Amino acid sequence: MSPPFRRRSLFALLFDFLAFFDPIVSAARAGYVVGTIDGQEYLVRDDRRPSLYTKDYGDCMGGSLINVTRFDAAYYKDNMTILFHLGGETALKNESIMMNIGVYAYGESRFDLTFNPCNANIRSACPIQAGTSIEASGVIPIGQKDVAGIPPIALSIPDFEGQAILRIFSNSTQRQIGCYSGVVTNGSSFSHPKWVSSILGGFTVIAVLASFATAIYGEEILEMRKHYAHSFSVFVVFAAWQHIYFSGALSVNWPSVLVAFWSNYAWAGGMVYLEPMQNTINDFIGTNKRNISHVGAAGPGVANPSLGDGYDIQQIYSRDELPETFKFPSLDDSLVYRSGEFITKRHLFEKLMAKRAFADSSGGHSWYGNPVKPGLPLPGNFSGFVGTLAHNSIPASNAFMTGFLWFLTLFSGVALSMIAFKLLLEGMSAAKIVKRDRLLYFRGHWLGYTLLALLRTLFIGFFMLMFLILFQFSYLCSSRPIAVACVVFLVILLSLGGLAGDACFYRIRLGHYTSEADRLNIEKRRILKVIPWLGFERNSKFPRSEDKRYAGSLPWRKIGPAPQDRTIHEDTKMFGWLAARFRRTRWWFFALWLVYEFVRACFLAGASSSPMVQVFGLLAVELVAFFVLVVLRPFEGQRLNVIAVYFLGSSKVATVALSAAFNVRFGLPRILATVLGIIVIVIQGLLTIAVLICIILGAISSYMSVMRNRDTFHPERWIAIRAKYFDHLDFKVKDIPRPRETKPESDSGPLVPVPEVPKGPSFAVSSVRRMPKVEDEDEEFMNEISGGDASTSQLDLGELIAIRLKGTVVGQRPLSIQSNLSNTTLPYGARLHRASWSTMDFAENLAPARPSRLSNPPLMPEACSRFSRDCVLLPPARVLGGESAVRYPSPLSMGANRSNTPTETPGNA
């Protein structure tokens, strides 16, 4: 055993010794090559991902005389080399050939190389012979000028749009005998179906569970429907996902970025590739795949002379040169810098070919594709729905059967899930894990729930099935799938259409309606305070206001149910799967939606062979649908209106409008087409984000709805939000407009709602009248409340001034000393009386003792202003010692038997 071991050791030592002097051999042994990255040389792996490389390829000539079994090309920026590999066979005998490799990026030629395989050391193709396998491979060193046409962004931009075309020419006939095209990519893409589709599918499952929970929780039908209507609809979720994917059904030349982005949503349209399923469908259809150019795509095996820039045979075969004098254009004696030294391209090519021979023996380059399958378009062509399907490796002939089989799988899964959930509940109830009365209504009506869930699934998949059926009719590849499509078409149209018509007839037959004249006011508005817009309001709901500007009005009719009429929501058991989410006055919207989806499917599928009619006809349909949706706002839930009306409607209009530019008749440059494709991705990406956010909010609101009967609710900080949400539900179920908002006094201020005045009992006192009482007959008490008796009642300063103003002089002393000290604790000038009494009331109580009026009495305005208009100036009772202080007897101090006629004052005589 030792000698063989010694021989192997000596061989290894010899190889290491040689490798010490030749770094290329050392790198080849270890699977590495020398590469330059950012100006520094490194050893890089031979199986690293190239900067640009080809994937799947197809015959672009039709009837090629060389059957190519492998074709790949790669460009390595780090060591400035192009690697290609060609494998195949031919029936030609002893034919010398010429080869041309062209690389095209965004519709423009970026690299072109014509060479003789004999001068490139491709011995199996020099010449080609029948029965001899062609194994052509090469590593071509290039310089900066050779790749100057490839922009640096092409190495990193997602979904680089390029093609590598290999053309083979016969030297004897100087004609093309073979053409193969492969798509070129840099490995970066918007297509990540494994994790993007998983995320979208997970959110969709959350929406399904949240919606289902609100549908089964509760005992009272109307209350259950109210909460179910505000959960986020699975129907709207699938409408958004299917809109995004089936946007690729238009027969235009799509940019590669859009097709890659749409592949993440293919599962929602039933386009999921499964190898056993596709093999079964192929056996069912047979070999009749039909020419896919009928629906706008370039198929393999068909002549495509204008592919790329085409070719000029005069540039390949010149009259001044013979074929045997052709040399490899890039392999000359010019110097290139490699591994720290300058070396000629020819010498470097020989070293690289030796390195390539070693790499081929160990597996070599693994970044290559395979021949395209029958029914798929030519790689690098993304025209129409065929190009969209090709990204998922599904032929156009298999589209209907693939979607139909996956829909049957979903349909069966829904039924089995309902049965499994019923059994799970019963088992948990028997095991006392849950209470016996938990979800009692659902457990008693689970068969009805299962039937309604299946009908709802059919309603959700209506557009997908209609489109695929009509697309199969327009494609007409085989009689078997056509027969299946006819049966499915009749079943869906008759069953779903018949049930929708029965719901409308039932409602109209049992309902009572009123028709009134109305007007549609056209209001001038601005979106974002910049974009002019028109709003439409019915005058019956929103009368004309002076605060708004109007462009005019249109005659309208208001047709609605009678005020006390029975609503369709009260028949949720029968038609809840159709109308439960729509407003009370928009219950019929499901019928309008089915008509809209059918018309949309007709334009997308039926007009696939007429791109101009298809695009602009569908654009008109989407514009009308968007206008109708904005006017109707059919959903009872606010989130559903935001998504289904505004986000989804505007996304459909914008997508179709931008897609019109991709029509091949307009010849849009591919770089500009890619820019427009990025804009479409942004629009549909915003729609996706909005749907995901609403799914989360819908799950939260569904949690609140399910916990509505619980006394405790967590988290507690959501209690106020839950109460507000329930109030919102109670208001929306009435389907009446909210109170109008009015402006404050300042015109520049924002609109504020008018606060509602609480209605209830109220009490207000406007006047009080005192009635006579017993104490009014008490003389002492009456003297007390009137300010004292006659001996203590004094004329105040205001009364004295009033007398002087009338010309009566009562004394000569200054006014400051004409006042006496108060006999009470009240401030000076204050009178003792009860605040609830008035002098008039008091005078009426003493009517018998009321003094008579003087003839022409001197009135005192200041003094009488505090009494009634019947007050008079009384004569003085006495004059104290010549002082000017005049005292008057109070009329209240007089008895009933006293004289009420006042005596005249001497001074006033």
- Helix H or strand E segment including 522: strand 513-527
Helix (H) or strand (E) holding 203: helix 193-216
Pairing of the two strands 40-45 and 32-37: antiparallel
Contact 618, 604 (CB under 8 A): yes
Cβ(636)–Cβ(572) below 8 Å: no
Q: What is the Cα–Cα distance from 150 to 80, expressed in whole angstroms?
A: 13
Question: What is the DSSP secondary-structure string of 134-164?
Answer: EEEEEEEE--GGGGTTS-GGGGTSTT--EEE
**163, β-bridge pairs:** 104, 183
Strands (E), 718-857: 741-742, 752-753
DSSP calls for 478-516: -HHHHHHHHHHHHHHHHHHHHHHHHHHHHHHHH--EEEE
Alpha-carbon gap, residue 8 to 447, rounded angstroms: 77
Distance CA 877, CA 493 (A): 114
**Rg of the chain (C-alpha set):** 49
Which CATH fold topology does 51-188+301-329+343-371 show?
Answer: Immunoglobulin-like (2.60.40)
Q: Which amino acid is at 637?
A: G
867 secondary structure, DSSP code:
S
Whole-prediction pTM:
0.73
Residue 651, sorted as left (phi over 0), alpha (psi -120 to 50) or beta, turns out to be: alpha
Q: How many CA atoms lie within 13 A of 39 on its CB side?
A: 0
Instruction: Please give the average pLDDT of every successive group of 10 residues along the chain, which has 909 residues.
Output: 42 38 45 62 72 88 83 83 83 86 85 80 81 78 74 84 88 87 90 94 97 92 92 96 96 93 96 94 81 74 77 68 40 52 56 46 60 86 90 92 96 96 93 88 92 95 96 86 95 93 82 77 84 84 84 82 66 83 90 96 91 94 95 93 96 96 90 94 97 96 93 89 93 81 53 58 66 74 63 48 48 47 54 52 48 45 45 45 44 44 42
Tokens at 427, concatenated: 């088992």
550: phi then psi, degrees, rounded to nearest 5: -120, 145
- Tell me the HSE value of 302 on the side-chain side, using a 13 A CA sphere: 17
Q: Please give the DSSP secondary-structure letter assigned to residue 391.
A: T
| Structural element, H or E, at residue 180 | strand 175-185
Angle at which helices 234-246 and 446-460 pack, to 10 degrees? 20
C-alpha dist (Å) from residue 890 to 213, 771, 783, 906:
88, 22, 8, 19
> C-alpha distances in angstroms, 646 versus 215, 627, 684, 738?
26, 10, 13, 20
Q: What sign does the dihedral 777-779-782-784 (CA atoms) show?
A: negative
Q: Nearest CA to 621 among 638, 635, 636, 607?
A: 607
Q: Give the SS3 label for residue 835.
A: coil
Residue 69 is predicted with a pLDDT of: 85
What single string gives the DSSP state of each residue in 731-752?
HHTT--PPPPEE--SSTTSPPE
| Contacts for 297 with CB less than 8 Å, ≥ 6 apart | 377, 378, 381, 383, 384, 386, 387, 390, 396
Return the number of other C-beta atoms located less than 10 Å from residue 418's C-beta.
20
Residue 63 and residue 300 in contact, taking contact as beta carbons nearer than 8 Å: no
Tokens of 38: 């950012």
C-beta of residue 224 within 8 angstroms of C-beta of residue 630? no
CA–CA distance, 292 with 273 (Å, rounded to integer): 19
Residue 644: DSSP 8-state? I
DSSP β-ladder status, 66-76 and 531-538: unpaired
Q: Map tokens 């297509």 to a residue.
A: 191
Give CA–CA dist 378/292, Å, rounded: 10
Please state the domain extents for the chain.
51-188+301-329+343-371, 193-296+392-509+575-717, 513-561
Helix, strand, coil % in the chain, rounded to nearest 5:
45, 15, 35
User: What's CA 221's distance to the chain center, in Å?
Assistant: 31
> What distance in Å separates the CA atoms of residue 471 and residue 376, rounded to the nearest whole number?
16
Dihedral angle, C-alpha 316, 317, 321, 324, nearest 10 °: 90
- For residue 287, how far is the Cα from the chain centroid? 43
pLDDT score for 1 = 41
d(CA 628, CA 630): 5
CB 857 within 8 A of CB 872: yes
Three-state helix/strand/coil letters over 64-114: CCEEEEEEEEEEECCCCEEEEEEEEEECCCCECEEEEEEEEECCEEEEEEE
Residues 6+ positions from 716 with CB-CB distance below 8 Å: none
**Cα–Cα distance for residue pair 154/145, rounded to 1 Å:** 16
Please answer whether residues 254 and 388 qualify as being in contact, where contact means their C-beta atoms are separated by less than 8 angstroms.
Answer: yes
